[in-house]
Structures are given as C-alpha cells and as structure tokens.
Structure 1
Amino acid sequence: MNMKVLVGLVALLSAIALCTVLNLASGVFIPLVVAWFILQVFRPVIRLGWKLHLPPALNITLVFAIFFGLCILGIYFCASQAVEFNRAYNLYYSKLNTMFHSVLKALSIPPSTISDFNWLDLLGRYVRNISELILTFSSKFVLTLVFLMFMLLEAPYVNEKIDKSFSGPNAFRIKNILDTVSQQISRYLGTLTLISLATGFCAWLLLAAMGVELAAGWGVLTFLLNFIPTVGSIIATIPPVLMAALQFSPSLFKPLAVFFSLTAIQITIGNVITPKVVGDRLGLSPIVILLSLLLWGTIWGIPGALLSVPIASIIKIVCENIQSLRPIAVLMGSGKDALMAAPPVVRRKTKTHVQTNVPNTSEDFE
C-alpha cells in the first residue's frame, strides 16, 4: 500500500477516534473548554491585577466577583421578564385556547380526540426533562468554576514553565502560539459581542415600536442566540413572531410584519455581516465557519455550536506555526489571507559533487 494512502487512513481514523472521545467525555471537556474561554474573556482584568501586584487570591476573588455579578444581573432580568409574562398569563392562555380550537376545526379534528389525550403524562415528561437539564447544567457549571479557579492559579506561571521545559526557539514558538490564540479569541469575542448587541438592540426597537410585549426580553434573547453563527439568527426570529401571533390574534398583519422585519434584520446582520466581519477578523473562510459549526454542534450540541468558531481559529493558528501544516492553515483562511500568503518555495534538485570532510551548513537542517 502507498505510504501516503496509509498515512491518510491513519489520520482519518485518528480524527474519528478523537471526535468519539470528545463526544463520550463531553461532560468533562465542555466545562474545561468553557472555563478556558471565560479565562480569555477576563484576561484584561487578570493582567491588570498582575500589573498592580495583587495577590493571586485577591485576583481570583475579583474575577469571580465580576463573573457572579454578571450572572446575578442576568437572573434578575429573566425573573423580571417572567413576572411580566405571568401578569398576562390568563389573557395569553385564553387566546391560545381559542387559536388551538380554530386549528382543530380547520383540520376537521374532533375536540374529543384531544380531550382524551393524557396531558398530565406529557406534562410530567416535560417536567422531568427540564429537571434533568437543570441538574446537568448545575453540575457542569460547578465543574466549570472549579476548572476556572485552577486555571487562574496557574496562569501567572505558564511562561516560566514553558521557558524551563523547552529550548529557546521552541519555547518562543509555543508562547507565540498562545499569545496569538489569546489575542484572536479576545478580538473575536469583542467583535461578535458588538454585532450581537447591535442585532438585539435593533430587534428590541422594532418590537417595541410594533407594540409586541416582552420586547426587551426578545431583544436579549436575540443578543444571546446571535453568538451561534448563522443558525442562531434564524432561531431568534421564531419566539417574537409566535408572541406577536398570540398577542394580535386573529389578525395576521402584525405577526407577518414582525416576521418579515426581523428576518430582514437577521439576514442583513446575522447571515451577511457577521460571517464576513468575524471571518475577516479571525482570518477564517465562511465555509470553514459553517463546517465547524456543523461538526462541533454534532459533537457537543449547543455548547459546541457556540465554541465552534473559536476552536476553528485555534486550529488555524496552530497550523500556521507548524511548517508541515501551513497548507491547511492557508485552506482554512479567508480569501484575503490567501492573496497575502506567500507561495510555496519549489527547490530544484541540482547535481553536486561529493566532497569529504566538509561540514554541513545550517541550511541542511531546515
């Protein structure tokens, strides 16, 4: 068998095995990766603590205080939106009941068929699923905080460990990779946050102008879902349209107006501007962004979809710093990067006379 074919098969099997391990051990790998990304988000705060010569315990306390403060603000906002929804629950329930019976009548389904259905059993299954989801999220959240704490303790000594573990050029290369990854991820998160804020703000203004209730909540939901490339912007359109259909029923004018207006915003910002701007900032091809979204979404679900683009960026940066993998980095890059990349050097073989007792030059080892 050809050696190149054998190497390709081994690489393919290794990739499949790696994806399988990542999927089976997602309960450990997802909190670990999320903790690392949280560390990158708070890196400016951490570096400020280093410059001020704060003790490690105080630096960790500062990061956790900011993190928990943001979590408490998010919980408070969700609770306020839930209270607002609860006030109009009876009105929404009666409208939903009317719409439901209208659909049954249009489909010629007798109401007795639905009334005989065991709704309590269905509700019980949903409650159990939600309880399991909350329990799983809580355990992963605690594990993420544990990983984050140990990473914060280890962060000040990473460069020293690299210098003492590797030779000069290799240590420099490894530190360069880590610094580049950190800068690219920070740049990506900052750019995507601004784009998501703009999308959520536009959605909130539009829904508030049209009189859709819970407009602020839908704006925040749009902001959060836009962190999922391409697909998130589509999903974010559905809940506000359903709310408009429920609120303004039986009229269809407002729900359709909300649908087309939000779709226009999402297509313009989410499906055109976001992949282009984020792709250029990270130097990634839009096709690579989409494939990474599909791959990591399949392996890790929603967390994988959220982390897909940063992971693709990390892979590209590592490939750029390894000579044999640079063609992969060029293929993963955007068109602008491909135009700026230098073509591979083709070395022609020349006939040379054999000489003895002549030392090799440094070029022979490159």
Structure 2
Amino acid sequence: MTISPSITGRNALVFLAVIAGAASLYWMRGILTPLALAVFLAMMIDSFARVLTERVPAYPRNLALPTALILSILLFGLAVWVVTANGAGFVLQMREYAPRLNGVIAKLASLVGIKVAPTIGELVNQINPSKYAGAAAQSLQNFASSAILVLIYLGFIIASRRGFGRKIVALYPHHAERDGAMQLFQRIRNGVEQYLWIQTVTGLMIAAASWAVMMLIGLDNALFWAFLIFIAAYIPILGGAVGCILPPIFALVQFPDTFLPALLLFGALELIFFIVGNVIYPRMQGESLNMDPTVVLLSLAVWGALWGVTGMFLSTPLTVAAMLILAQFEGTRWIAILLSEDGDPSGDSLDSPRAGSPKKPGQA
C-alpha cells in the first residue's frame, strides 16, 4: 500500500495548522475567553427567547428577546445572591471549624500510624498562604475585568444579531452555498442548545436531590453546596468528582465525633450521580451529540489547558462545533471522524431544533 505524497503533505499541513491554532488560542486567551462566554450566553438567551415563542404562541415575538434577557439577568442575580448570602456564613463557620478540623486530622493521623498529628495552624504555616495572596488578588481582579468584558461583548452581540442574515447573504450569494452555511450554523446552535438543556436539567436534578440529602443529614450551608454542585455539573467528569468529595469532607469537619454522616452523605451523593449519569443522562442525550467519551475527556483536558476553568465549562460545546466544522472539508474530515462516536460526524441528528428529545411512538 502506497501513500500519495499529496495526502501526506495535506495531513502534515493540517497537523501544523492545528498546533498553530492551539498556540494562537492560548496566546489570545485573554481576549477570546470573554468573547466565547459572551457568544455562549447570547446563544442561551436566543434559545430562551425561541422556546418562549414556541411554548407560548400568543406571546409577542418582539418582546421575546427582551423578556429572555431580563429573566437571564434575574437568574444571574439570584445566583450571585445565593453565593454572597451563603458564602459569608460559610467563611465565618470555617473559623469555628478549626478546633474540629484539628480533631479530624488527629483521627486520620492515628489511622495511618502518625503519633504526633499536625494542627491546622501548622499545616497553614507550611503552606504559606501569603505566597499565594498576590496571585489570588490578581485572579479576582482578572475575573472582575473579564465579567465586564463579557457583558460588553454580550451587549454588542445582541445588538448586531439583526444584521446576521444580511451578512450571510453577502458572504454566500449563491443559494446552495448559503443553505449549506445556514444548515451548519443551525446544527452548531442545536448542538450547543442540546448540551445546555441536558446539563441544566440533569444538574438541577442532582442539585435538588443532593440538597435534600444534605438537609436530612444536617450539613451546614446545604443550599450553598447544592448551588456549587449545580455549577460543577457543567464541567464534564470533574464536576461529578468535586460534587461527591467536597461535601463529605466538610461533613467530617462538622461532625468530628463520628464518620457516619460523612459516609452516608458520600454514599448518597455517589448513588445520585450514578443514577443521573448512567440512567437519565444517556436517555436524554441519545445519539445527538455523537461524541466519543474519550474525546469528551480529552477535550476537557485540552480546553482546560488552553483557557483554564472557562475552557472546561465550554469544552464540550466547542468540541461539537469544531467537529461539525471540520466535517465540512475533505482535508479535515478524518479529524471529525475520529472525534465522532459512530464515525459519521455530519451532524444529521442535529437538524431538528429539539435534537435528542424523546421521540414519539412511530416517529422516525
């Protein structure tokens, strides 16, 4: 079997282009991450507006987008209130937990055979938090500036969305090319909306069930933990690990005299994540996203390395969009095939606005 030099050169060119593109994404992450988040939020708001017009046909179409925008701002404000109202109490309780934490450390040390257990104060001194204070302050400053950039980008994207149709006509004067471009955009939008819908619904299920379990056990700041579990649900794989581990650790601190509440909480959270992740999630997702599970994990690592936590949140939608775009060109179709789960990355299952929703009996 001989390989054509043209095919070898084309594949090498694609490989070099991927490396150069990744380097550009990393170098321009300060500009691109707020823009990507703004586009992501704009698609969420647009989807919210379209769902509103479809579910409530009598609702005026010209008011759908402003209503969706106002509701999104209110939900964002509610999220900020949950964090600020419960986060302050969480920090204050952490000061009271110091003696209890010393007892937990002593118990764990005795279990592993350490005779003299270090105290929490000694561990903090060894970590030397002052060394990281500057980096933490810089991170908060970057977060604030990024949030402002995201809101600015979002405002301009929403304001310029009306001209999108005219730009498509100017870019693709022929009907066949224009229809193909619109179909690709529709598939990308449906894929992102499908992912958002699944992650939001399953995240709410996990957060609500986790809150109920934490309330039954008596864990402090149960609402705050439930909110963090809901946010972490948007990060594939790692979100579930964080949601299962952190609350039981703080249950050990809150109940230092016994390991039973922490073990019960850990077992209940594991059961919740197992049922939602292995029973409900696959039934909702179906085959619409068509992404290999290994690619999901790899994309999480790659986008996390390029764009940090923002990249982790957006890893799956960005990879779905990249797969659909790469499938449109002969030279890069092989990459899209490797990214797909069944070897067909065309995205035909995303042509329906409600891709992945349960089909009615007899529906093809």
TM-score, length basis structure 1? 0.80
* 1:318 equivalent among 319, 322, 325: 325
Match of 2:235 in 1: 228
Distance in 2 of aligned mates of 1:252 and 1:278: 37
* 1:95 equivalent among 83, 88, 100: 100
Match of 2:168 in 1: 162
Match of 1:344 in 2: none
Match of 2:140 in 1: 134
Matched, 1:238 2:245: yes
Between 89-98 and 257-266, the greater mean CA deviation after superposition: 89-98
Match of 2:190 in 1: 183
Between 298-307 and 83-92, the greater mean CA deviation after superposition: 83-92
Distance in 1 of aligned mates of 2:15 and 2:258: 55
* 2:260 equivalent among 253, 278, 283: 253
Match of 2:128 in 1: 122
Distance in 2 of aligned mates of 1:257 and 1:296: 35
**Residues 15, 88 of structure 1: CA spacing in aligned structure 2 closer, same or farther, 3 A cutoff?**
closer
Match of 1:264 in 2: 271
**Residues 288, 163 of structure 1: CA spacing in aligned structure 2 closer, same or farther, 3 A cutoff?**
same
Question: What letter matches 1:249 in structure 2?
Answer: P
Matched, 1:147 2:150: no
Question: What letter matches 2:153 in structure 1?
Answer: F
Cα distance, 1:71 vs structure 2: 2.5
Kindly indicate whether the alpha-carbon contact (under 8 Å) linking 1:237 and 1:259 is maintained by their aligned counterparts in 2: yes
**Residues 279, 14 of structure 1: CA spacing in aligned structure 2 closer, same or farther, 3 A cutoff?**
farther
Distance in 1 of aligned mates of 2:49 and 2:20: 36
Distance in 2 of aligned mates of 1:274 and 1:183: 17
Kindly indicate whether the alpha-carbon contact (under 8 Å) linking 1:288 and 1:332 is maintained by their aligned counterparts in 2: yes
Distance in 2 of aligned mates of 1:268 and 1:318: 34
Distance in 2 of aligned mates of 1:251 and 1:20: 51
* 1:41 equivalent among 36, 39, 44: 44
Kindly indicate whether the alpha-carbon contact (under 8 Å) linking 2:104 and 2:252 is maintained by their aligned counterparts in 1: no
Cα distance, 1:81 vs structure 2: 1.3
Between 228-237 and 260-269, the greater mean CA deviation after superposition: 260-269
**Residues 165, 4 of structure 1: CA spacing in aligned structure 2 closer, same or farther, 3 A cutoff?**
closer
**Residues 191, 108 of structure 1: CA spacing in aligned structure 2 closer, same or farther, 3 A cutoff?**
same
Match of 2:341 in 1: 334
Deviations 1:139-176 (A, max 9, x none): 11111112112211221111111112323221221122
Between 77-86 and 139-148, the greater mean CA deviation after superposition: 77-86
Match of 2:24 in 1: 21
Unpaired runs of 5+ residues, structure 2, are 54-58, 349-364
Distance in 1 of aligned mates of 2:205 and 2:288: 18
Cα distance, 1:329 vs structure 2: 4.0
Match of 1:303 in 2: 310
**Residues 165, 122 of structure 1: CA spacing in aligned structure 2 closer, same or farther, 3 A cutoff?**
same
Question: What letter matches 2:103 in structure 1?
Answer: T
Match of 1:363 in 2: none
Matched, 1:78 2:78: no
Between 135-144 and 295-304, the greater mean CA deviation after superposition: 295-304
**Residues 101, 65 of structure 1: CA spacing in aligned structure 2 closer, same or farther, 3 A cutoff?**
same
Kindly indicate whether the alpha-carbon contact (under 8 Å) linking 1:36 and 1:151 is maintained by their aligned counterparts in 2: yes
Distance in 1 of aligned mates of 2:279 and 2:258: 32
Distance in 1 of aligned mates of 2:284 and 2:296: 12
Identity across matched positions, percent:
23
Larger Rg, first or second structure (1 or 2): 1
**Residues 299, 274 of structure 1: CA spacing in aligned structure 2 closer, same or farther, 3 A cutoff?**
farther
Distance in 1 of aligned mates of 2:12 and 2:166: 39
Provide the secondary structure at the position in 1 that maps to 2:310.
helix
Distance in 2 of aligned mates of 1:152 and 1:113: 50
Provide the secondary structure at the position in 2 that maps to 1:301.
helix
Kindly indicate whether the alpha-carbon contact (under 8 Å) linking 2:326 and 2:336 is maintained by their aligned counterparts in 1: yes
Between 130-139 and 206-215, the greater mean CA deviation after superposition: 206-215
Deviations 1:314-349 (A, max 9, x none): 1222244445655544443334968x99xxxxxxxx
Kindly indicate whether the alpha-carbon contact (under 8 Å) linking 1:230 and 1:275 is maintained by their aligned counterparts in 2: no
Question: What letter matches 1:167 in structure 2?
Answer: P
Distance in 2 of aligned mates of 1:113 and 1:306: 33
Question: What letter matches 1:40 in structure 2?
Answer: M
Question: What letter matches 2:180 in structure 1?
Answer: R
Distance in 1 of aligned mates of 2:117 and 2:331: 68
Distance in 1 of aligned mates of 2:336 and 2:124: 56
Distance in 1 of aligned mates of 2:119 and 2:294: 51
Kindly indicate whether the alpha-carbon contact (under 8 Å) linking 2:295 and 2:339 is maintained by their aligned counterparts in 1: yes
Between 139-148 and 77-86, the greater mean CA deviation after superposition: 77-86
Match of 2:361 in 1: none
Match of 1:68 in 2: 73
Let me know the Cα RMSD of the aligned residues: 3.3
Cα distance, 1:9 vs structure 2: 1.9
